[in-house]
Amino acid sequence: MSIVANTLQQYADKVRNWQDISGILEKIVADPPPSEPVAKARFNEQIEYGAAFITYDFGIDGVSIEIFKYAECLERIFPGIPLHFIGGDFHEKADVILKDYWKRFRIDGFNGWDKWYGGKLFAKLFYEDMPENSPESAAAAREIWHEACDFAVKLGSYLEVHSINLAIPVNIPTNPGNFAAMLAIIMATEILGTYVISSNHDFYWEGGKPAAEHTPEEQPGPRDHFFRNMDNKAFFKLFTHMYPWNGRRWIQVNINTPQSEALIAKFGFAPDKVFELGTSISDKFFIHSDRDFVRSVRKRMNYIVSDGKPEITTVDIRRHIGNLNTWMRHEIPVGLGNRDGIKLDLAADKIIYCLQPTRVIYRKHIDRDLALLEALLKYKPFADKFNSDPECKLVLHITGPTPVEHQSDLEDVLKAYQNLCDAFPEDIADRVFLIFSVGNENHHCFEELKLKPLCIEAIYQLADVILFPSETEGRGLPIIESSAGGIPIVCRRYYPEEVFAEVIGENLPKTERIKYLLFPEGEFDVEFLKNVTDILMHPEHYRQWKEHNREAVKHRYSMKMIVRKFNEFFKALRQAQEV
């Protein structure tokens, strides 16, 4: 029997409510393995046995991409280190991110939100009333406990068998998509004395707060539901104790300054256990593409969206909306048009290409992209040029998939596109397209055609402009990546504003600041539409802008920075003492 299984066995039938779970955690922490500073050589020897990255699931989302960068960093510091990736699911597209020789371990049910066993427990905790001392509250506590013990035994056994002494959970400790998974990580790592770097991208209080704290005119936040049962004091006390966890051998690594300040000021974390880590940009992003390169990338995207054909044949937007439930079960690439059967060649001349390199979720506000396209088509200087040339076509491309729990957000995007089509005569509407590549960067026909798979760096080169009207971001990676690739970006001043300012470099010298066009929150004024039109119709006016952004990003973001920061984290872990 594993150490974790043996420890938890004594508590097998001891949980009746949330207070009991809190009490068990106190006992586990009160009986720790030795925790004292260790010499660098001894610490390195322990880490070289292996490290594990743990998250809800692996795909091509922002979290998975950042994990890939951290993994490459560890390989630079510890050449030959065995790397393990643990999660509730490994999507087919994860093969683009994860190297073949990296080890994978899937724990059934470890996924988050609606994918955590159909979202039933998530709903009980955060969408349904769970009064304190009620039968519903006690039942939820018991169910969570049994599930967490199962997860903890599986996770702990894997860490033991593979002699893994460093765990890097990403986003699970701060964005509560699976309460049982977080409880399991805490118990397994505390029982084993595992070193933990808690990599925190999003916190539940970012975009969320209790209903009582909202002003009358304030709209609900996207994470308000985490405060639904805060009056259940036993539950909410455990919740805030766990999220985030101030563990014995844990350090907190955030992606921006406001997060770190909150942990220290509001949650009492010691400053020497709280760090920040920016992102890095691969040298591959700094592409100086010419027309032939762009045509090559767009040609390959044709094959991806059309399932192996050289041109895309559109699906009527209205028919697609009617079949959306079926499409969501598989999420295959699709090109949508005003009607069935319109031919679209992305590699043709006179394609105006707008790209939103994100998943489809509410806070990304993709509907604003379509509002912008409609405004452009009604703005005379743009409309005159577009309408007068029947070869000119306008494309909005969304690169990421739609999580199943965000289907209603996708419906809003599709209806916005339908409304756009309905607002114009057929000869105009037939030249405006919405395409979804749902994370695909390859197609089985590429091998036969001797074409290379696409990569994220090349996908940015599809675009004439990047659209990024997101409401909240932990970092805002598309700003950095598009700037490295020399593609102009239109972005919102997202929340937290301090994070946006940090990414742009507002407090830095002008030479290090990223240039952007601000996405308005309300109506699009004439000056804004004039600037967007200029970007799309006269890209030569923006050559200096593009080169400036490339140099600013190159100066501020590099793999060397991440390596330096991880060495700081290891120094802090070597000196770890009891909390």
Q: Check: pTM over 0.75? Answer yes or no.
A: no
- Taking 80 as the threshold, does the pLDDT of residue 474 lie above it? no
3-state secondary structure of 338: coil
- The pLDDT confidence band at residue 62, using thresholds 50, 70 and 90, is confident
Q: Could you give the percent of the chain with pLDDT greater than 90?
A: 82
More confident residue, 99 or 36: 99
| Cα distance between residue 377 and residue 372, in whole Å | 9
Integer Cα distance of 490 and 11 in angstroms: 54
- Which pLDDT score, from 0 to 100, does residue 36 have? 65
Which of 1-5, 331-335, 414-418, 511-515 has the lowest average pLDDT? 1-5
> What is the mean predicted confidence (pLDDT) over 215-221?
85
Measured CA to CA, the distance from residue 386 to residue 346 in angstroms comes to: 16
Give residue-wise pLDDT tens across range 221-246. Answer: 889 999 999 999 999 999 999 999 99
10 Å CB burial of residue 92 (0-12, 13-18, 19+) is exposed
Would you say residue 338 has pLDDT above 70? yes
Q: What is the 3-state secondary structure (H, E, C) of 190-258?
A: HHHCCEEEEEECCCCCCCCCCHHHCCCCCCCCCCHHHHCCCCCHHHHHHHHHHCCCCCCCEEEEECCHH
Domain at 3-248+561-574, CATH class? alpha beta
**Helix (H) or strand (E) segment spanning residue 387:** helix 380-388
pLDDT at 38: 80
Query: How many angstroms separate the CA atoms of 339 and 464, rounded?
Result: 25
| Position 579 confidence tier, pLDDT thresholds 50, 70, 90 | very low
Residue 371 has pLDDT above 80, yes or no: yes
Res. 393: pLDDT tops 90: yes
**Window from 142-151, 493-502, 505-514, 540-549 with minimum mean pLDDT:** 493-502
Asked which of 100-109, 216-225, 489-498 is least confident by mean pLDDT, the reply is 216-225
Mind listing the pLDDT tens digit for each residue in 14-56?
899 999 999 999 999 986 655 567 889 999 999 999 999 999 9
Q: What is the pLDDT of residue 499?
A: 85
For residue 290, how far is the Cα from the chain centroid?
Answer: 30
Q: Is the pLDDT of residue 92 over 90?
A: no
- pLDDT digit string, tens, across residues 524-539: 999 999 999 999 999 9
Q: Please state the rounded mean pLDDT for residues 423-449.
A: 97
Between 62 and 500, the higher pLDDT residue:
500
In the structure, what pLDDT confidence band is assigned to residue 113 with cuts at 50, 70 and 90?
A: very high
Q: What is the mean pLDDT of residues 97-106?
A: 95
pLDDT band at 282 (very low <50, low <70, confident <90, very high): confident
> Whole-number mean pLDDT of the chain?
94
- Helix/strand/coil for 336: strand
Specify the pLDDT at position 578: 42
Do 471 and 446 form a contact (C-beta atoms < 8 A)? no
Nearest to 545 by CA among 510, 571, 493, 576: 510
Question: Is residue 489 within 8 Å of 517, Cβ to Cβ?
Answer: yes
Query: Each residue of 477-523: pLDDT tens digit?
Result: 999 999 999 999 999 999 888 889 989 999 899 999 999 999 998 89
Q: Where in the chain is the domain with CATH 3.40.50?
A: 3-248+561-574
Segment among 141-145, 265-269, 552-556 with least mean pLDDT: 552-556
Which of the pair, 280 or 579, is modelled with greater confidence? Answer: 280
Comparing 102-111, 263-272, 276-285, 364-373, the range with the smallest average pLDDT is 276-285
Is residue 576 over pLDDT 90? no
pLDDT over 90 (residue 83): yes
In Å, what is the CA distance from 39 to each residue of 238, 308, 424, 571?
Answer: 35, 57, 70, 10
